[in-house]
């Protein structure tokens, strides 16, 4: 791993000023909605180059000092999820945290049925949503057309989408921009529309992967309220966000992933505090590596 890669990992701005750090409304936890049992997900990449092994911090330092990477050719296996087990319940909103590449998106895709487990099982009660909506939206078409496409993909009828159209547009805050092609939207506008469509029907299991990161403070607050409503209607919500403040405001439980494994699974305050400590330690170590690199090149 190059030092640049490491730098990109530390993107954990706490946007406390953006979002009130109040915990989500208390909710009685219901029956299991998602059961993940000893899940392993492995990506197979053909015709690529890769490091021979995942670097420990010691050999990472050596590699940087050597200014090179040990690479092999041919077929590569990336073990993105390595033995994850947990049970989610109706009425829970679960935050997934972890550094870049720790497996958060992979875990959500596996729960959504978009990636097959290489080992283990996933049981989902109901239909998982969001990733499905993102997949069907078309950038060349207007927001209006995409509301219809996304709504139909969620199982709403044409009439139901028409009835909810104004509400969806209001929620997205797009205004007249909804009549422009989606490719003209900023990242935040696109994310807001996806979120608005995804939550138009009350999904059984809603998964939000970074979608809130680009929204502004007002949109995040509306999203938080919508997540509370979905939980109130016995849905289960998974939220991936790099901001621990957002996670604390939206989640009743937090799972911390690292290198495809669960480090901690518990109440938001405890887990995010431990995670922040870990990130701080990594930052200090990064500084040490930089200093060693500077010393070696001097």
Pick one of 25, 57, 70, 100: the residue that binds ligand ATP (CB under 6 A). 100
DSSP structural state of residue 175: G
Return the sign of the alpha-carbon dihedral for residues 262, 288, 12, 23: positive
Part of the chain binding ligand ATP (CB under 6 A), chosen from 101-109, 143-151, 161-169, 185-193 = 101-109
Which residue intervals of 10-79 are DSSP H helices? 57-66
The terminus-to-terminus CA distance of the chain in angstroms comes to 21
Our CB check for ligand ATP shows the closer of 3 and 54 to be 54
Our CB check for Mg ion shows the closer of 171 and 256 to be 256
Q: List the x/- string, 72-111, binding to Mg ion by CB under 5 A.
A: ---------------------------------x------
54 binds ligand ATP (CB under 6 A): no
Q: Using an 8 Å Cβ cutoff, are 122 and 39 in contact?
A: yes
Q: Tell me the C-alpha distance between 272 and 286, whole Å.
A: 21
78 binds ligand ATP (CB under 6 A): yes
246 binds ligand ATP (CB under 6 A): no
102 binds ligand ATP (CB under 6 A): yes
Q: Using an 8 Å Cβ cutoff, are 158 and 74 in contact?
A: no
Give the residue among 249, 237, 200 at the shortest CA–CA distance from 34: 237
Part of the chain binding ligand ATP (CB under 6 A), chosen from 94-102, 118-126, 248-256, 281-289 = 94-102
| Residue 80 Cβ vs ligand ATP, minimum distance, rounded to whole Å | 3
Write out the binding residues for ligand ATP, residues 22-51 only, by CB under 6 A. 43, 45
Give the residue among 262, 297, 214, 285 at the shortest CA–CA distance from 103: 262
Pick one of 27, 50, 105, 142: the residue that binds ligand ATP (CB under 6 A). 105
Q: Tell me the C-alpha distance between 33 and 52, whole Å.
A: 39
Our CB check for Mg ion shows the closer of 8 and 288 to be 8
Task: Name the binder of 43 from Mg ion, ligand ATP, none, CB < 5-8 A by kind.
Answer: ligand ATP
Our CB check for Mg ion shows the closer of 177 and 241 to be 241
Task: Name the binder of 101 from ligand ATP, Mg ion, none, CB < 5-8 A by kind.
Answer: ligand ATP
Q: Tell me the C-alpha distance between 18 and 218, whole Å.
A: 8
Give the residue among 228, 238, 235, 231 at the shortest CA–CA distance from 36: 238
Residues in the chain: 298
Residue number with the smallest Cβ distance to Mg ion:
105
Return the sign of the alpha-carbon dihedral for residues 109, 112, 114, 115: positive
Pick one of 82, 104, 224, 231: the residue that binds ligand ATP (CB under 6 A). 104
Task: Name the binder of 78 from ligand ATP, Mg ion, none, CB < 5-8 A by kind.
Answer: ligand ATP
Task: Name the binder of 268 from Mg ion, ligand ATP, none, CB < 5-8 A by kind.
Answer: none
Our CB check for ligand ATP shows the closer of 98 and 151 to be 98
Question: In 10 A of CB 34, how many CB atoms?
Answer: 23
Q: Using an 8 Å Cβ cutoff, are 235 and 203 in contact?
A: yes
For ligand ATP, the binding residues (CB under 6 A) are: 43, 45, 78, 80, 98, 100-106
């Amino acid at each position: 791993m190059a030092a640049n890669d490491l730098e990109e990992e530390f993107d954990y701005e706490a946007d406390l000023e953006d979002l009130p750090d109040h915990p989500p409304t208390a909710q009685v936890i219901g029956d299991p909605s998602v059961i993940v049992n000893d899940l392993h997900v492995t990506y197979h990449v053909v015709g690529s180059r890769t490091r021979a092994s995942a670097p420990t911090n010691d050999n990472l330092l050596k590699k940087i000092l050597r200014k090179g990477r040990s690479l092999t050719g041919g077929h590569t296996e990336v073990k993105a999820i390595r033995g994850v087990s947990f049970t989610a319940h109706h009425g829970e909103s679960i935050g997934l945290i972890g550094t870049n590449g720790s497996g958060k998106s992979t875990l959500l895709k596996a729960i959504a049925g978009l990636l097959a487990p290489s080992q283990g099982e996933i049981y989902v009660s109901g239909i998982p949503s969001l990733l499905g909506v993102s997949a069907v939206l078309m950038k060349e078409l207007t927001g209006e057309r995409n509301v219809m496409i996304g709504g139909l993909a969620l199982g709403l009828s044409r009439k139901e989408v028409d009835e909810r159209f104004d509400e969806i547009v209001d929620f997205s805050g797009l205004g007249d921009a909804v009549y422009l092609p989606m490719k003209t939207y900023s990242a935040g506008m696109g994310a807001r529309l996806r979120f608005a469509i995804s939550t138009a029907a009350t999904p059984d299991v809603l998964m939000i992967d970074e979608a809130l990161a680009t929204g502004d403070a007002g949109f995040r607050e509306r999203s938080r309220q919508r997540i509370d409503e979905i939980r109130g209607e016995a849905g289960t919500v998974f939220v991936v966000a790099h901001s621990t403040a957002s996670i604390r405001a939206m989640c009743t439980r937090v799972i911390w992933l690292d290198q495809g494994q669960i480090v901690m699974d518990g109440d938001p305050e405890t887990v995010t505090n431990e995670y922040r400590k870990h990130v701080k330690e990594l930052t200090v170590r990064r500084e040490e590596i930089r200093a060693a690199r500077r010393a070696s090149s001097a």
